[in-house]
Amino acid sequence: MQGKVCVITGATSGIGLAAATALAARGAELALVGRDPARGDAVLKQLRAQNPHLRAAVHYADLSCMDQVRRLAQELLAAYPRIDILINNAGALFPRREVTVDGLERTFALNHMAYFLLTNLLRERLIASSPARIVNVASRAHEDAVLDFADLNIELDYTGWTAYRRSKLANILFTRELARRLQGTGVTANSLHPGFVASRFGDNCEGVYRMGMGLAKRLFAIRPESAAETIVYLASASELEGESGGYFARSAPAQPSSAAQDEAAARRLWELSAGIARIPA
């Protein structure tokens, strides 16, 4: 990883920060993406204390807003002549249905559309930097989910858990179709389940959601450093050179749900997402 440029979204806390810390120790140059400048400054100070020669910068954007994703992509393309690794990690669960400035349900916007749009905007730079890798953080939460293509915005029967599970299914479907489209370019794409993590995930919730999430973390969650191991493995392992379209857990291939292996659904999601993002399908 020495000298390789690694873009990581959701990099100022949780598993994103843990992955950044591990990749910095391996010599990577970090392009961290976050929302909070105060937290970003603290993270940079922490990382540089651990690695005095580290090359790193923080870029700020609200990834649930497509205009900010576009601005971020322009900033990254201007700052980095090459991009070797893209780790799409930023995500959240929203207990109440919210709509973004783009008219999208916020979970779908942040957890799926940000992955889709940022990846496509950086795609040519990744290809020019090949061999390069794209790592998409998904979740086992996808396992009983089914996408409703007539209601991607979940206007009917919304729950935060339903929206989150569908977004994680979308991550895996996106990865499969992305890998198919990247064949022959030298760029690979894989997704993963990091585990249930003791991070800031769910801290934006209130009431019963927040209490339940807090209790579950205390009882069952693993440390961010452990959860980040699969991210780091997919980003750096030499034995994965050329491996693409897979889904991993605990740094090993895993079997996603049958819905996550539906190639027709993957193509349809891509085409609908491209229409939403107003980019060529």
- Spatial contact of 231 and 192, defined as CB atoms under 8 Å apart: yes
* Catalytic residue selected from 80, 115, 164, 247: 164
Q: How confident is the model at residue 163 (pLDDT cuts 50, 70, 90)?
A: very high
Is the pLDDT confidence value at 120 over 90? yes
Is the pLDDT confidence value at 212 over 60? no
- Residue type for 68, please? Q
Q: How confident is the model at residue 196 (pLDDT cuts 50, 70, 90)?
A: confident
Q: How far apart are CA 57 and CA 80, in angstroms?
A: 11
Active site residue 164: yes
Q: Please report the pLDDT score of residue 224 as a whole number.
A: 81
Q: How confident is the model at residue 202 (pLDDT cuts 50, 70, 90)?
A: low
Distance, CA of 46 to chain centre = 23
Is the pLDDT confidence value at 267 over 60? yes
Instruction: Select the more confidently predicted residue: 221 or 103.
Output: 103
| pTM score, whole prediction | 0.92
- Residue type for 192, please? L
Mean pLDDT calculated for residue range 147-153:
97
Half-sphere exposure (Cβ direction) of 54: Cα atoms closer than 13 Å: 24
* CATH entry 3.40.50.720 includes domain 5-277: yes
Concatenated DSSP letters of 32-93: EEES-HHHHHHHHHHHHHH-TT--EEEEE--TTSHHHHHHHHHHHHHH-S---EEEE-----
- The alpha carbon dihedral of 166, 171, 176, 178 has a sign of positive
> For a pLDDT cut of 70, what percent of the chain falls above it?
91
Q: What is the pLDDT of residues 24-41, one digit of tens each?
A: 999 999 999 999 999 999
Q: Please report the pLDDT score of residue 166 as a whole number.
A: 98
